[in-house]
Amino acid sequence: MEKLNVSLEDYPKEVLDLFEDEEACLKLPQNLIKDTSKAFSLINTKHIHKEKETALELIYKVLSNFTFVKLKQVHYKDNYVNDNYINLSSRILAEQVGPYECRYRSILDLLIQEGFIEKGLGHKLNVKCTSYKLNDEYSTFNVEKYYLKSSYAIKLHKKNMRRSNLNIFDSTIAKNEMLNSSYVEMPSIKEVEKHLKSKSKKGKTFNKKGKQLKVLGKKKRDNDKYVYVEDYLDLYRTLNKHLKLPKVLSERAGHRVMTNINMCPSIIRELIKVNGKPLASLDFGCFQPNIANHIYGEELKEPLSHEKIADKLGIDDKKAKTENLSFFNKECYQMERSKLWDYYNAHHQKMVVNITSEKRREGYKRPTQKLFSMEVGIMTEIVKRCMESGIIVVYIFDELLCKEDFKVDVRAIMEEVCEEKGLKIIVK
């Protein structure tokens, strides 16, 4: 990750105070702390730690891995979560709770036994981590803080959090988002609620997965067809309260940066302002497919676009875009079943052959990691140049928000960086 020299004095005090708070507490789905403390006695936790309070806090630490799964699932269908299951690395778990006699295994076994989590897929070809899922009862946007008390748990948590926080200072994108906190004006809950209800009444607002926005009220849920105003409000509250610091994701996710802004539904981001002015959006057309062809295929005469792909396949533009969001992260057999397979196999066969070969050789997520890494590298350089030019930009993965006055300048920087990287792509 490329660094930009910024001193601690450049950050607002309220942002720096957040680091101290992060090192002192855990965040868990609502009611999970209360229910686990009731369920576990000294008898069934003494093999984890001789002191019950310490044992419980180590259990809470493992459970904290599931806290933002529901939040991530709003945005990602395949990339990070699959039906609420997440992969847990034994190395990371050992760092979180200590390696003593494989303590993390005892904790996982106990949580499975008591029904708080369930085990998914174990080790298989090219999959290194076992997957786990939190009980659906705790699948919620509502999060509560728990301030650690035992000296052993505090020591481990501080060590892990400081490592995580150092990743923030190694990331130009994350540092930019922290500096933005002095300038970016987030809407109030009342403003968001009014905006969402107004949009839902028109009946024409859909999310990226094609689900319509509606007010739930006392009606029966239909999560296959609709997203609900009430859920978006809960999500927004959680983001503003519990995701105030950016989080740099793992190498597997290409070190993308997750923030309280880019995890917001786009309909809420419409209300964000800088100096009282709304922000304009600039993003890349068909970014992941163009990067994939750059890495695995041949030099293109013209950049790929969702519209061209949709036209060739005779499908809707939105369907082409939605499918492209997950196509490169699928397993080989899933790619072959996709509507996009025939197009890519006919027109970009070299790319398809190289990607599927690598998936079978190194695991099906390996190409996605490379795509994300290149995406983050490009966005890092763009954000860096904007910062050096004094332009405030807000990072939304492969999209940037800026004041309308700077749209031409930001577009020029985006195009310049891509040209330097040898990537043909349209900035929209």
CA–CA gap between residue 32 and residue 51 (Å, rounded): 20
At 120 the pLDDT is 83
At 175 the pLDDT is 93
pLDDT tens, the chain, 428 aa long: 444 566 556 677 777 788 888 989 999 999 999 999 999 988 889 999 999 999 999 999 999 999 988 877 665 443 333 567 888 888 899 999 998 878 999 999 999 999 999 998 655 444 567 889 999 999 888 999 999 999 999 999 999 998 888 889 899 999 999 999 889 999 999 999 999 999 999 888 888 777 899 999 989 999 889 989 999 999 999 999 999 999 998 888 889 999 999 999 999 999 999 999 999 999 999 999 999 999 999 888 899 999 999 999 999 888 888 889 889 989 999 999 998 999 999 999 999 999 999 999 998 889 999 999 999 999 999 999 999 999 999 999 999 999 999 999 999 999 999 999 999 899 99
Instruction: Count Cβ atoms within 10 A of the Cβ of residue 354 and give its class: 0-12 exposed, 13-18 middle, 19 or more buried.
Output: middle
Domain regions of the chain by residue span = 8-170, 272-428
CA–CA gap between residue 105 and residue 162 (Å, rounded): 24
SS (HEC) of the chain: CCCCCCCHHHCCHHHHHHHHHHCCEEEEECCHHHHHHHHCCHHHHCCCCCCHHHHHHHHHHHHHHHCCHHHHHCCCCCCCCECCEEEECHHHHHHHHCCHHHHHHHHHHHHHHCCCEEECCCCECCECCEEEEECHHHCCCCEEEEECCCHHHHHHHHHHHHHHHHHHHCCHHHHHHHHHCCCEECCCHHHHHHHHHHHHHHCCCECCCCCEEECCCCCCCCCCCEEEHHHHHHHHHHHHHHCCCCEECCHHHCCCEECCCCCCCHHHHCCCEECCEEEEEEEECCHHHHHHHHHHCCCCCCCCCHHHHHHHHCCCHHHHHHHHHHHCCCCHHHHHHCCCHHHHHHHCHHHHHHHHHHHHHHCCCHHHHHHHHHHHHHHHHHHHHHHHCCCCCEEECCEEEEEHHHHHHHHHHHHHHHHHCCCCCCEC
Q: Which of 3, 420, 390 is nearest to 173 (CA)?
A: 3
| Residue 45: CB atoms within 10 Å | 22
At 5 the pLDDT is 61
At 7 the pLDDT is 59
At 82 the pLDDT is 54
